Amino acid sequence: MVDGFDITEINRLTFDLTAAAASAAPKAGVAIRKTASDIEGTAKTLAPVDTGNLRNSIGISYGGDQILVLQAEIGPTADYGAFVEFGTSRMAPQAYMGPALDRHSHELDTALASLGGHIL
C-alpha cells in the first residue's frame, strides 16, 4: 500500500503491458517483413521495363536490429525512379510504387490490428 492505496492492480497491469509489448513486437516485425516483401514483388511487376535496371533496383532496407525489425523502406535505387513514378514535364507518370503500396498496405493494417486482440 502507498498512502492508503492498494497498487497491486497497477503493478499487475504494468507487468501485463510489458509482457504484451514483448509479445507483440516480434509479431509486428514478421508482418512488416511479409508486407514489405509483397510490396517489393508487386512494384517489380508493375515497374515499366526498358532495360530492366529500374525493376532490378527495387529493394528493401530494414530498420531496427537483426532480430526486431519494425521499419522497412521499399523503393528503387535507380536515380530516375521518382521521375518514372511521378512523371516530368516531358513524361507522363508510370506509377509502380504507389499502386504496390495501395495493394498491400491493408494487409499490414489487418495484421497489426489483430495483434491488439491477442497480446494480453
Structure letter (DSSP) for residue 4: T
Angle at 18 between CA 13 and CA 21, to 5 degrees: 125
Task: Quickly list DSSP for 15-68.
Answer: HHHHHHHHHHHHHHHHHHHHHHHHHHHHHHHHS--SSSHHHHHEEEEEEE-SS-
Task: For 16-46, write each residue's pLDDT tens digit.
Answer: 677 766 677 788 888 898 999 999 999 999 9
Instruction: Sketch the domain layout of the chain as residue ranges.
Output: 28-116
Cα-based distances in Å from 63 to 4, 35, 71: 46, 14, 5
* pLDDT tens-place string over residues 52-91: 999 999 999 988 666 676 889 999 999 999 999 999 999 9
In the numeric block, which cell numbers belong to residue 53?
535496371
Indicate yes or no: pTM above 0.85. no
